[in-house]
Amino acid sequence: MWARAVKLGLRSWVGWRRGFTSKVDPQRSGRVTAEVIEHMERLALVDFGSQEAVARLEKAIAFADRLRAVDTDGVEPMESVLEDRCLYLRSDNVVEGNCAEELLQNAHRVVEEYFVAPPGNISLPKQDEQEPFSHI
């Protein structure tokens, strides 16, 4: 379920990138370069782990690419599958909160009602520095 969500997310992202950077080339092999994989791993903190996973990604992209066969000239892009729904407007009243204790129970470490996080962002190590991960 999580993998599918990631795939959908990645597809939309890669599709968006493609749309801006390259013209449609039906002859392209659809290979995803190691550079792009590393970039995506860094951005999304997703572990591609093996060549198999990359191949699966390429197949998914090729599958989505079939959409290009459809003629969409003059058709307004759909922004949301919820476009026919009404966006509900909530009135400005305070109805939630005051549950610090409950929330902090989820935290690994807590200091005086604050969540504790490592200092700043810790960058993912570069490709050659990474240890091979096993699939979780």
Instruction: Write out the residues near another protein by the rule CB under 8 A.
Output: 9, 12-13, 16, 39, 43-45, 79-100, 103-104, 106, 109, 111-121, 123
Q: If DSSP codes are grouped into helix, strand and coil, which group holds residue 87?
A: coil
Q: In the complex, what is the shortest distance from the CB of residue 36 to another protein, in angstroms, rounded to a whole number?
A: 11
- Residue 41 CB, nearest approach to another protein (Å): 12
Q: Give 44 or 62: the residue with its C-beta nearer to another protein.
A: 44
Closer to another protein by Cβ: residue 25 or 112: 112
Cβ proximity to another protein: between 20 and 29 the closer is 20
Q: How far is the CB of 26 from another protein (least distance, A)?
A: 26
Distance CA 117, CA 135 (A): 25
- What's the rounded Cα separation, in Å, for the pair 98 and 29? 55
Question: 107-123 b/e with 16+ CB inside 10 Å = b?
Answer: eeeeeeeeeeeeeeeee
Name which of 69 and 82 has its Cβ closer to another protein.
82
Closest distance of CB 72 from another protein, Å: 17
Helix H, strand E, coil C: the string for 50-63 is CHHHHHHHHHHHHH
* Distance from C-alpha of 45 to C-alpha of 47, rounded to nearest angstrom: 6
